[in-house]
Amino acid sequence: MSKFFNKFLYAVLTIFMALTAIFFVIRLSPGDPVETVLGQRATQEEIIKLKTQLGLNLPLMSQYKVFLTGLAKGDLGKTIFGAKDVKGLLKERMKPTIVLAAVSVTLSASIGMFLGVLAGYKKNKGFDKFSRIISLFALSFPIFSLAPLLVLLFSIKLNLFPVSEWGDLKHLFLPILSLVIPLSAIIMRVTRNKYLEEANSQWVMVVKAKGMGEVSILLRILKVCLPTILNIVSIQLSVVIAGTMITETIFDIPGMGSLLFDGIQNRDYPIVQGVIIYSTVTYMLIYFIIDYVNEWIDPRTQS
């Protein structure tokens, strides 16, 4: 139990540091949101009035205090542009991003694991070599160069999917495909290598000698490989977050990524803070769940 407590404390500390860093960095970076809202011709009084209204006239440390007390009550403040409730805005924009990230991560994990085990099982045979070349290509087209090519092929040449709309299942296809291709290639490579490492180990030899069937050996090896694969997934998660941001801007998806990008461009502090809070907390949560699942699957990972 004290171990759990330690980890929890660690997570809270990390999230707190992330929040503090984001709070100060975005306020210290040049650019003033009030000027952007009011435009160039605003009078001094108007500027001061809006600043007082938003609480931006206070010294930095008092602003920080206000921010933290608000956060403790679960209040994320209002946006500077349009004075919308940040929490409501985030709830609205969360769905596309979560759908995008969750579907592409699960799909990539299943495809990557399946192909990886298959490639490891048929080591140095035709399929293994073929999959190596395919994964090399998949890893060499970054998302923003892959996505235009996919649009060219599927939307313009074959006319199968619309270019940039949101709402239908059909519109999910291209964004998810552009996220799944590189991610599944990485997971496939890791799975293949880990599978080979385990398949050559002594315990597999013993189980084989005792006459266990091929399929049950395969399943056991897979179970041992699972923690490594889950670790890679958790590391890749921050890549996926960045990836969804780019995919959302490419395909005009109204998600958290595009919200964050606009927030940074306009210096809309509460939006940026809100998105960061949500993404760090989610990330930490998944990170810890994976950690516990790993220990549960393979107690050896407990260190």
Q: Which residues bind another protein (CB under 8 A)?
A: 13-14, 17-18, 21-22, 25-26, 28-31, 136-137, 139-146, 148-149, 151-152, 156, 235, 238, 241-242, 245-246, 249-250, 260-261, 264, 276, 279-280, 283-284, 287
Q: How far is the CB of 139 from another protein (least distance, A)?
A: 6
Strand partners, 85: 78
Q: How far is the CB of 219 from another protein (least distance, A)?
A: 25
User: What stretches of the chain show up as alpha helix (H) in DSSP?
Assistant: 2-28, 33-38, 44-54, 60-72, 86-121, 126-140, 143-150, 173-199, 202-209, 214-251, 256-266, 269-297
Reading the block at residue 269, the tokens are 């502090």
Q: How far is the CB of 215 from another protein (least distance, A)?
A: 28
Q: CB within 8 A of 149, min separation 6: which ones?
A: 141
3-state secondary structure of 57: coil
Q: Which is nearer to another protein, 24 or 296 (CB)?
A: 24
Q: CB within 8 A of 231, min separation 6: which ones?
A: 290, 294
Q: How far is the CB of 185 from another protein (least distance, A)?
A: 11
Q: How far is the CB of 108 from another protein (least distance, A)?
A: 18
Q: How far is the CB of 232 from another protein (least distance, A)?
A: 13
Amino acid at 206: V
Q: Which is nearer to another protein, 137 or 203 (CB)?
A: 137
Q: Which is nearer to another protein, 189 or 221 (CB)?
A: 189
d(CA 105, CA 111): 10
Q: Note whether 31 and 263 are within 8 A (CB).
A: no
Q: Which is nearer to another protein, 5 or 210 (CB)?
A: 5
Q: Which is nearer to another protein, 142 or 213 (CB)?
A: 142
Q: Which is nearer to another protein, 224 or 245 (CB)?
A: 245
Q: What sign results for the dihedral spanned by CA atoms 135, 137, 142, 147?
A: negative
Q: Note whether 284 and 290 are within 8 A (CB).
A: no
